[in-house]
Amino acid sequence: MGRSPCCDKVGLKKGPWTPEEDQKLLAYIEEHGHGSWRALPAKAGLQRCGKSCRLRWTNYLRPDIKRGKFTLQEEQTIIQLHALLGNRSAQIPLHVDIPGLVFFFSESEGWSAIATHLPKRTDNEIKNYWNTHLKKRLVKMGIDPVTHKPKNDALLSNDGQSKNAANLSHMAQWESARLEAEARLARQSKLRSNSFQNSLASQEFTAPSPSSPLSKPVVGPARCLNVLKAWNGVWTKPMNEGSVTSVGAGISVTGAVARDLESPTSTLGYFENAQHISSSGIGGSSNTVLYEFVGNSSGSSEGGIMNNEESEEDWKEFGNSSTGHLPQYNKDVINENSISFTSGLQDLTLPMDTIWTAESLRSNTEQISPANFVETFTDLLLSNSGDGDLSEGGGTESDNGGEGSGSGNASENCEDNKNYWNSIFNLVNNPSPSDSAMF
DNA sequence: AACCGTAACAACCGCCGCCCA
DNA sequence: TTGGGCGGCGGTTGTTACGGT
């Protein structure tokens, strides 16, 4: 508000850059570096504003930019990362709910984060490619490019399958949360590794220690879905009386992850917020526990732990299927002696005085078998998308799609979806050497 | 050959967070 | 502590290229 323009735009040129201008900019930066972008145009003899120069440099002239057609691998990477990180246009706070845990993200990572995993591509280029190619392709496949979920999910009925699908959605969101949290953690660790010591001393994070800095990658355990980690006993932090302090323990950050998963846009604050986590009372009696990862929120109301009123309002908001993608825990409460969760999937009550461990999660959420989680997830997505009851929706989708690039029948959509989600989970679970650049 | 619609891409715009005086 | 400068980001727009009729 009232912000002065980046430069005096009077008399400055706009529009496409000429080769002469490019040459001037290139020559100047090669000789002097860009320094202050605002001051650069005058020094370089350009009738442009500094911002325009910076964009031209970062998006076009920079020598380390790879131009030309995106490879299949790059396309896959973009889609997968977009599925996991999203872009900032998704202002709907990403919430992750697994039985007993609810996470809210103030914002998601965006194109810049994705761009860091495609080293020679610019965020602008990736963004444009997404908007003009990939998004349309997903739409043709019947996949919502925002949620990366089959569009006919909404048509699922309230039977066991929808419950399974909801369970899987929990898991998918949980994994998204994990990846984002790790990205944030990685960056923060790098920037402020020393300041973590005290925090880490009281947390059971598998985090880089000062003696094993991230520059010396630690060989960590094979990456896997954190849901599986939970079941496999990673979560061991006790839940304190009346408050929850253990959420961070769910994030097992290996050196390898920390080394590779780096997002320049993550403002982190992850550990701090892990420590903030507390039960937030509503109306003094019934309480909702909110776990929140906070990034560099663009809106003040989105950042930080919500106050009670906000919590309640947002809670209602998220309970509204029109705003959230998933079934919600509308009646989750923390009482003095227990924490209860109610969803369409299950009712679950955990005593407050017990250690909230992987075992307790396992015993209380046993309808999801960790052993075949990924397989189940993919298969259910497959069965959902291919369910005969859904043929109307799917068929409509395809029919409307018209020339839909060969994806006009249910079985092909099934296969597309299966492959799609398999690829995402393969990325997470079995990173290939080519994937290693990303994570 | 001309026109039109669409795709692709470059560039701009406005907002935001960080930094520093 | 605060306010302005700066750089970065995502969203949007404008322009050009291309293909079909």
Q: Contact at 8 Å (CB) between A237 and A204?
A: yes
User: What is the per-residue pLDDT for A418?
Assistant: 58
User: What is the per-residue pLDDT for A110?
Assistant: 74
Measured between alpha carbons, how far is residue A341 from residues A157, A329, A349 in Å?
Answer: 22, 6, 6
Q: Where are the alpha helices (DSSP H) in A261-372?
A: 270-276, 308-319, 358-364
A249-282 pLDDT per residue, tens: 333 222 333 333 333 333 223 333 333 323 333 2
Cβ neighbours for A177, distance < 8 A, ≥ 6 positions apart: A94, A96, A103, A105, A293
A98-108 pLDDT per residue, tens: 333 333 333 33
Query: Straight-line distance from CA A187 to C1' B19, in Å?
Result: 19
Strands A286-293 and A338-342, by their bridges, are: unpaired
A27 CB inside 7 Å of strand C: no
A128: nt with nearest C1' to CA? B9
CA closest to C9 C1', residue = A112
Q: Please count the CA atoms within 13 angstroms of the CA of A208 that sit on its side-chain side.
A: 28
Please give chain A's pLDDT, 439 residues, in tens.
Answer: 333 444 445 678 888 888 888 888 888 888 888 888 888 888 888 888 888 888 888 888 888 788 778 888 888 888 878 877 766 533 333 333 333 333 333 333 578 778 877 878 888 888 888 888 888 777 777 777 777 777 665 444 444 444 444 444 444 455 455 555 554 554 444 444 444 333 333 333 333 333 333 333 322 332 333 333 333 333 333 333 333 333 333 332 223 333 333 333 332 233 333 333 233 332 333 332 333 333 333 333 333 333 333 333 333 333 333 333 332 323 334 343 443 433 333 344 444 333 333 334 334 433 333 333 333 333 333 333 333 333 333 333 333 333 333 333 445 555 555 565 566 545 444 434 333 333 3
Q: In chain C, which nucleotides are within 7 Å of a protein Cβ? A: 4-12, 15-16
Q: Contact at 8 Å (CB) between A188 and A135?
A: no
CA closest to B8 C1', residue = A132
A69: nt with nearest C1' to CA? B8
Query: Straight-line distance from CA A227 to C1' B13, in Å?
Result: 42
CA closest to C8 C1', residue = A265
Query: Straight-line distance from CA A53 to C1' B4, in Å?
Result: 35
Measured between alpha carbons, how far is residue A40 from residues A12, A16, A35, A97 in Å?
Answer: 13, 18, 7, 49
CA closest to C16 C1', residue = A16
CA closest to B11 C1', residue = A15
Q: Structural domain boundaries of chain A?
A: 1-63, 95-106+158-374
- Taking only Cα atoms into account, the Rg of chain A, rounded to an integer number of angstroms, comes to 24
Closest by CA position to A227, among listed A361, A325, A354 = A361
User: What is the per-residue pLDDT for A152?
Assistant: 62
Query: Straight-line distance from CA A374 to C1' B15, in Å?
Result: 40
In this structure, which topology does domain A1-63 adopt according to CATH? Answer: Arc Repressor Mutant, subunit A (1.10.10)
Cβ neighbours for A129, distance < 8 A, ≥ 6 positions apart: A70, A78
User: What is the per-residue pLDDT for A125?
Assistant: 84
Q: In chain B, which nucleotides are within 7 Å of a protein Cβ? A: 7-18
